Amino acid sequence: MGETIPIAVVGMSCRMPGGAPSPEELWKVIENGMATWTPVPKERFNEKAFHHPNINDPNGTSTHQGGHFIDADVQDFDHAFFHVSPHQAAATDPQQRMLLETTYEALENAGWSRDAVAGSNTAVYAASFTADFDRNLYKDTLDLPVHYLAGSEESIMANRISHVFDLCGPSVALDTACSGGLIALHQACQSLTLNEIDAAVVVAGNLTLSPDHHLGMGHLHMLSDTGRSYPFDTRGSGYGRGEGFTVLIVKRLDEALRDRDPIHTVIRGIASNHDGYTSKGLNYPNGQSQAKLMRTTYSRAAVRPQDVAYVEAHGTGTVAGDHEELQAIADVFAGPGRSLPLYVGSLKGNIGHLGNGSGLASLIKAALVLKHQRIPPVAGFENPKPGLPLDRLNITKTLIDWPHAEGVIPRVSINSTGFGGANAHAIVEPAPLVGLPAPHAVDLAEEPLLFVFSANSQASLLAMLEAHRD
């Protein structure tokens, strides 16, 4: 596929660790360099019961503790609001339920009502990965609920959103592990470029409800001993798991400007590839393949990598991953003709590794970086790993101003890799000032403002009021 057209992100929502149920709250976590690690909540599972001092024992793990968890009761769900019966709701993966909620929030953020999108040629692309709810169900096959298949199948993660909101475009769930979110976004951008759809909802969700993935990833030596992620730091020997939900609403930029939609950021270019055969194995990262993808993305977007000041890296904190990725970034972005300093960061120091949702979470961070024109610190970064190409790039420990250069549009690159060799890369930039609706300033001291709240039940109304209290 050749050059890509600009795609506008007109709506976005998220639920992240650290008490961050929105992009605005997530920015507070990011700009302050907060790390959101906690022990595993007791209502999830007893992680101590699965600890084993022998790293090679198949029945336990010695390499992980705690993680990064959203601050919410995963059992809460207003089933009537989404026209889901109580029996269906009880048999539905909480990941699906929370994606319905965050999709509604993203549509609200875009200023789109349910009636406005009903029947539209809007696609849904969902990145899936972990299936803890499904695994837990099959541990007691004599007590499987009637609706368990529709409540736990990966395909339904996209299909249920299309059904509930009456979205009639393609409805696709895909799994490329940790790069899934950004690859789902790539699929959406391709469909928009080809005029197959009018808009797309791109989602990813991940909850830690079972120790199964802890055990499997621990046996592959992918996880850190402490459960924390330390991107680029000497303490990083693996990554800490995180959970969260991200939803983006995207459409063609020219149509977003025509329709006077809010535009959070513009996707200037996006592409994906695979490592192919590598001598070091399926799960070993390949920096050369990542560098090739970066160059392809910039070539298609007709943008110079030398003009990009900030790269949001995959940055898991693993020894091999950090070295391969940063070498690729330095080779592509720090070449001849660079006048700006080059900064690299990673959200995983703040909220851990969200798996399939990590790429979309990084894109939301990139949009916030462009909005605030600040480059945030890498949480937990103190001492760089030996051998990183820090002579050609910078990792900041403090919040700094964006390094502007005359005539250069501020842009952020987002890199995402999957442990099976599937990679994705995206370039984002601010919305054009021409054609945007003028902001409406309100003097809050002038007169009181009336806020009207409505909900489907008293419990939902009280929860909404509490969410807006501050």
Identify the helix (H) or strand (E) that includes residue 45.
none
Q: What is the dihedral of CA 317, 322, 325, 328, to 10 degrees?
A: 160
Residue type for position 337: G
With cut-offs at 50, 70 and 90, classify the pLDDT of residue 439: low
Percentage of the chain beyond pLDDT 90 is 77
Residue 312 pairs with which residues in a beta bridge? 345, 414
Count Cβ atoms within 10 A of the Cβ of residue 244 and give its class: 0-12 exposed, 13-18 middle, 19 or more buried: buried
Q: How far is CA 417 from CA 287, 288, 314, 322, in A?
A: 10, 13, 7, 12
Nearest residue to 11 (alpha-carbon basis) of 198, 201, 225, 179: 201
- Cα–Cα dist 381/231, whole Å: 7
Query: Tokens 């972005």 sit at which residue?
Result: 333
- Of 205 and 443, which is predicted with more confidence? 205
The domain locations on the chain are: 7-429
Give me the mean pLDDT over the 302-318 stretch.
97
Phi, psi of 412 (to 5 degrees): -125, 140
- pLDDT of 458 > 90? The answer is no
Q: Which amino acid is at 183?
A: I
Q: Write the pLDDT tens digit of every residue in 367-419.
A: 999 999 999 999 999 999 999 999 999 999 999 999 999 999 999 999 999 99
Token pair 């469909």 is found at 191
Please give the model's pTM, rounded to 2 decimal places: 0.94
- Residue 416 gets which letter from DSSP? E
The mean per-residue pLDDT over the stretch 217-245 comes to 92
Q: What pLDDT, on a 0 to 100 scale, did the predictor assign at position 368?
A: 99
| End-to-end alpha carbon distance in the chain | 47
Mean pLDDT of 75-87: 94
The model's pLDDT over 2-18, given as tens digits with 9 standing for 90+, comes to 567 999 999 999 999 99
- 92-140 per-position pLDDT tens digit: 999 999 999 999 999 999 999 999 999 999 999 999 999 898 888 888 8
Q: State residue 285's pLDDT score.
A: 96
What is the per-residue pLDDT for 459? 82
Q: What is the mean pLDDT of residues 198-226?
A: 90
Average pLDDT of the chain, as a whole number: 93
Q: Are 376 and 369 in contact (CB under 8 A)?
A: yes
- When pLDDT is averaged across residues 340-369 and rounded to a whole number, the result is 98
333 vs 308: CA distance, rounded Å = 7
- Tell me: pLDDT of 299 over 60: yes
pLDDT value of position 442 = 59
Tens-digit pLDDT profile for residues 408-438: 999 999 999 999 999 999 999 999 986 655 5
Tokens of 320: 């091999």
Task: Over range 346-363, report the average pLDDT.
Answer: 98
pLDDT reported for residue 426: 99
pLDDT score recorded for residue 219 = 79
Q: What is the mean pLDDT of residues 286-301?
A: 98
How far is the C-alpha of 451 from the C-alpha of 428, rounded, in Å? 34
Q: Is residue 1 over pLDDT 50?
A: no
For residue 314, pLDDT beyond 90: yes
Q: At what angle do helices 94-110 and 155-165 cross, to 10 degrees?
A: 40
Q: Which of 278, 314, 296 is nearest to 178 (CA)?
A: 314
Average pLDDT, integer, range 292-299: 98
* CB atoms near residue 460 (< 10 Å): 16
Q: Of 247, 219, 208, give the one whose Cα is nearest residue 69.
A: 208
- Regarding the domain with residue range 7-429, which homologous superfamily does it belong to in the CATH classification? Thiolase/Chalcone synthase (3.40.47.10)
